[in-house]
Structure 1
Amino acid sequence: MRTPTKPLKRHPKICDKLIPKISVPFNNIIFTNENIFKQSLAICRSQKISVKKNSNNKMEKGFNRFLAPGAIRSIGILTGGTAVANGITVLVTPVLTRVFTPEQFGSLAVFMALVAIVGTIVTLRYEVLIVPQATDQEAKNVVFLSIFLASLLGATLMAFSFWVPNQIWDFLITGGITFSIQAVFMLGSASAIVAVVVAFLNRHQLYKEIAWLKILQSFVFAAFAIFLGVQGASGGLILAHSVGIAVVFFVCLSKIGLPSQNQIAESISTAKRCNVAPRYMLPTAIVDVVTMQLPFFLISAWFNSAEAGQFSLAWRVLGFPALLLGIAVSQVFFQRFVAAWPDHTAARLLLLKTWRAMSLIGFIPMLAIFLYGDVLFAFLFGQEWARSGQMAEVLAPMLFLMFLHSPTSSASIALGLQRKVFLLSLILLITRPCSFLIGWWLDDLLLGLYLYCATEILHILLFQRLVIRRVWSRDVGC
């Protein structure tokens, strides 16, 4: 006998704190996996999704009816926008690798990493609280607060950077990389404001506009990068990336109005009421983004920018498909897992089915890269990128496990494992530098990559062990 259909209840660890952490191999600077993940949460709330559970623990029928047609269509729009945006970048990559050098790709990788870190810090993570606000007025207060913080902290960092001697910046950013550190702070603030507006659009279910913003940024980057590359501009990749962010930034500003005096005062009270963001979400987000971008800094500093560029291409080519499909699967998996938990049998069934499906999808492509990466990269991107293919061969097993891990990693939120996951992420701050340090000491980057992949695989296995112990245990309170 089936139980009556009930609305999906708010989970305090999901809706109130809203700290989704999905490990994926490549971070888009503006539209991160975290933003897309929160968009799927809002979609499912707005569609009033419900689930039916069978008393005999056979969940397949309930799962098949879980997502409402409106939610499927909305998630499809977001995923489709991501697919087109990433597809544009992937399609122009063989052209860009023939007009730009590995050193220039390395400079772009470090530049994007710095922009991502600044963009994470300057809003103090208040933007993640826009979607779950009770009223539109409260959401607008958080929007204006986030934009004010991004502008103020970005300007402060930029002003401070002029007082720092150039020798210090040269020491911190080595490997033959040259770009303006002031541009990093400016674009980091701009990308943070874009993320704020995207969260605002997400709250109002304007998913087509979010998708078009992604496509617009990729198109502008691709067009300017090809044009500047043909013209022989040495900093063409960084300039094209900056123009892409700037165009999307001004489009986003046109979608929000100026705050009133009352809203400014209310934003100040909102900062006090929502202080959970800077107190708890910001440290976790900083650790997450720094550990994700750390390899680009270490390879550039301890080897050279050309090696960083080779690594960047391997990471990007292997990471884009995993990012796209991993997000698409995680959007559906998380909603189903929340509905299934604390039914241990249903949760185990969903985990096993997801791992099996992801294995079947990712095994053959990753095996091909593992066996013939250098040949494939030399053919697609040019002979000078064969080194990137060798790195891809080393990265393939780790990225395959990341591909399996990316959807089910969201289960830790429903299981209440955020604290343990945060402690595991702190370990990466030690293992990642040590791996590349050994490679630098022995003058062998590939050895450093092997050690890096081994520690990442161990981290994934430890993470999944936490999930497995929780789900396979009969004691819900364990």
Structure 2
Amino acid sequence: MSDFIRNIMKLVSGSMIAQIIGILLFPIISRLYSPEDFGVFQLFLSIASIIAIISCLTYHLAIMLPKKNEDSANIVSLCFILLVITSIASGLIFIPLSDEISGFLNTPDLADYLLLLPIVVFLSGLFNVLNYWTSRRIRFGVVAESRIANSLGSRVSQVGIGSYNPSPMGLITGYLTGFFLANILMLGYFKSDIQYFRKVSVHRMKELAIRYKRFPKFSMGSLFVNTFSFQLPPFMLAFYFTSAIVGHYSFANLILALPVTLIGGATSQVFFQKASEVKNENGNFKELVTEVHRKLILIGAFPLIVFMIVGEDLFTFFLGAEWYSAGIYAKILAPWLFIRFMYSPISSIFDILEKQNIELIFNILIICSIFITLFIGGSYNDPILGLMLLSIVGVILWSCANFYLLRISGVQLTHEVRHFVKYLLIAILVSIPLVLVDYLSATIYVILFLSMVLSIAYYIVVIYLDHTLRSKLLGAINAAKK
């Protein structure tokens, strides 16, 4: 377990640096680009993300699973071939239809940027493949460095371009730059892996494609539906409302997703590698799942409460007055994002236990629920109503999926529910002073100061209550003294 936590810390530290860079530049970016710019960027990104995630027919998820590195190298090569084909096909399909697509989404400016779609699909798809191979090789420090390069390259480019000519092109170009730099960094470590790729053959690629056929058969559909479900809100908000509404939603989702990206993403990557390894050894990873799930609960509970209390105040102060609506959206979506934060890192259990068919059913339910809730909001011309319904239904469905993953891993559900309630109550009790200050309409500086003080108080309490965290912290302190 110590290696597991150490690897998570490597990724978290790298992700933390990357996210700190992003957070520091957000106030600049939000003042350079308008909500409309972010709306166009989000719609472009939504299309690219859907294509990129299935560009390898989801064989990239199988990179972790073979016992031999030679077999994994064959899967990587297969993924690269599929990625090239998909990228070219995306250009041939979407570029000729760019006017029709942008017209349907009520965003005419989108047509000007779909020329870049094949490049974005290729670079982001390659990033996924390289991440899984690098994680398999247990180079989590390299993965952390790639995340820093991605964030730094992306945000700095967006600020630089936006200073001269703020438009969706600046946001898209910055996004491309980040992935390009991250991919170059990871490819630089391939020299020591050449011996595995020398044994790549078309025959072996075919054999492994058949061996892991459940991934394109079930995971691809499931992952497509899952990704589409996350990208469906921007599409529907654009269809029923305006690109500005899409921009507010995308920024709210971006800020709320920081913990999911920072902690959840790092934990997910290490969890997949470690759980696959444990399964190959003895088939039982109950303790690992329990440990990860409980840590995610205690980490995410307090930020959830803070966003629900003063979300719009924080958004207005850091991002500017025109992003007030994004803060309202963040308050509404916070409970849903918290459940996603707990679910996302352990969702690879579906792949590890080859339960992709169940995951597909769950994701179909998710996409149906998103469509129905936002359809209701659009019918009443009320984005707030649609997002409220979306958040409520999201909490219910993701909680059910979370419980299912815990159950098939052998974890006691009643124990996890008690653990969840315990830390949520602690977070609520600690945040009571913040509720009073907000009710009294205190200045934003008082709210910020109190939020930081209460955050420190909350994490001191949870570290004291959690024996594993306390022992790790004391061990780190003792090691530093020596």
TM superposition score normalised by structure 1: 0.74
- How far apart are residue 462 of structure 1 and its match? 2.5
Matching residue within 234, 248, 273 for 2:182:
248
Give the equivalent residue in structure 2 for 1:462: 400
Q: How does 1:69-468 map to 2 (within 5 A)?
A: 69=3, 71-162=4-95, 164-178=96-110, 179-234=112-167, 235-252=169-186, 256=190, 263-264=201-202, 266-327=204-265, 351=290, 358-407=296-345, 418-466=356-404
Q: In 1, distance between residues paired with 2:289 and 2:90? A: 46
CA contact (8 A) 1:117 1:188 kept: no
Higher relative contact order (CA 8 A, sep 6+): 1
Larger deviation, residues 283-292 vs 91-100: 283-292
CA contact (8 A) 1:436 1:452 kept: yes
CA contact (8 A) 1:118 1:185 kept: no
> Taking structure 1 as reference, are residues 282 and 228 closer, same or farther at Cα in structure 2, changes over 3 Å only?
same
Larger deviation, residues 170-179 vs 439-448: 170-179
Q: In 1, distance between residues paired with 2:44 and 2:77? A: 27
Q: In 2, distance between residues paired with 1:342 and 1:302? A: 48
Q: In 2, distance between residues paired with 1:150 and 1:429? A: 25
> Taking structure 1 as reference, are residues 308 and 267 closer, same or farther at Cα in structure 2, changes over 3 Å only?
same
- How far apart are residue 247 of structure 1 and its match? 3.2
Alpha-carbon deviations, 1:51-88, whole Å to 9, x = none?
xxxxxxxxxxxxxxxx144x443332222222222221
Q: In 2, distance between residues paired with 1:242 and 1:328? A: 22
CA contact (8 A) 2:252 2:327 kept: yes
Q: In 2, distance between residues paired with 1:417 and 1:262? A: 29
- How far apart are residue 327 of structure 1 and its match? 4.2
> Taking structure 1 as reference, are residues 208 and 401 closer, same or farther at Cα in structure 2, changes over 3 Å only?
closer
> Taking structure 1 as reference, are residues 336 and 264 closer, same or farther at Cα in structure 2, changes over 3 Å only?
closer
Q: In 2, distance between residues paired with 1:126 and 1:405? A: 22
- How far apart are residue 377 of structure 1 and its match? 1.0
> Taking structure 1 as reference, are residues 453 and 250 closer, same or farther at Cα in structure 2, changes over 3 Å only?
same
Q: In 2, distance between residues paired with 1:354 and 1:221? A: 30
- How far apart are residue 310 of structure 1 and its match? 0.6
> Taking structure 1 as reference, are residues 130 and 447 closer, same or farther at Cα in structure 2, changes over 3 Å only?
same
CA contact (8 A) 1:329 1:407 kept: yes
Q: In 2, distance between residues paired with 1:357 and 1:260? A: 41
Q: In 1, distance between residues paired with 2:355 and 2:201? A: 36
Amino acid at match of 1:156: A
CA contact (8 A) 2:289 2:346 kept: no
Q: In 1, distance between residues paired with 2:404 and 2:120? A: 38
Q: In 2, distance between residues paired with 1:336 and 1:269? A: 24
Alpha-carbon deviations, 1:29-64, whole Å to 9, x = none?
xxxxxxxxxxxxxxxxxxxxxxxxxxxxxxxxxxxx
Amino acid at match of 2:231: Q
Which runs of no fewer than 5 residues in structure 2 stay unpaired?
A: 415-482
Larger deviation, residues 219-228 vs 320-329: 320-329
Q: Match of 2:257, SS? A: helix
Q: In 2, distance between residues paired with 1:190 and 1:327? A: 19
Q: In 2, distance between residues paired with 1:449 and 1:225? A: 28
Q: Match of 1:311, SS? A: helix
TM superposition score normalised by structure 2: 0.73
CA contact (8 A) 1:296 1:312 kept: yes
> Taking structure 1 as reference, are residues 228 and 279 closer, same or farther at Cα in structure 2, changes over 3 Å only?
same
Which runs of no fewer than 5 residues in structure 1 stay unpaired?
A: 1-66
Amino acid at match of 1:80: S
Q: Match of 1:123, SS? A: coil
- How far apart are residue 366 of structure 1 and its match? 2.3
Larger deviation, residues 176-185 vs 402-411: 402-411
- How far apart are residue 94 of structure 1 and its match? 0.9
- How far apart are residue 216 of structure 1 and its match? 0.8
CA contact (8 A) 2:259 2:300 kept: no
> Taking structure 1 as reference, are residues 405 and 203 closer, same or farther at Cα in structure 2, changes over 3 Å only?
closer
C-alpha RMSD over aligned residues = 3.5
Question: Which structure has the highest helix share of the two?
Answer: 2
Q: In 2, distance between residues paired with 1:343 and 1:192? A: 31
Identity of aligned residues (%): 24
Q: In 1, distance between residues paired with 2:85 and 2:133? A: 20
Alpha-carbon deviations, 1:4-26, whole Å to 9, x = none?
xxxxxxxxxxxxxxxxxxxxxxx
Alpha-carbon deviations, 1:287-345, whole Å to 9, x = none?
12111221122112221111111111111111102432334556787868978x9999x
Give the equivalent residue in structure 2 for 1:61: none
Report the count of equivalent residues: 403
> Taking structure 1 as reference, are residues 284 and 95 closer, same or farther at Cα in structure 2, changes over 3 Å only?
same
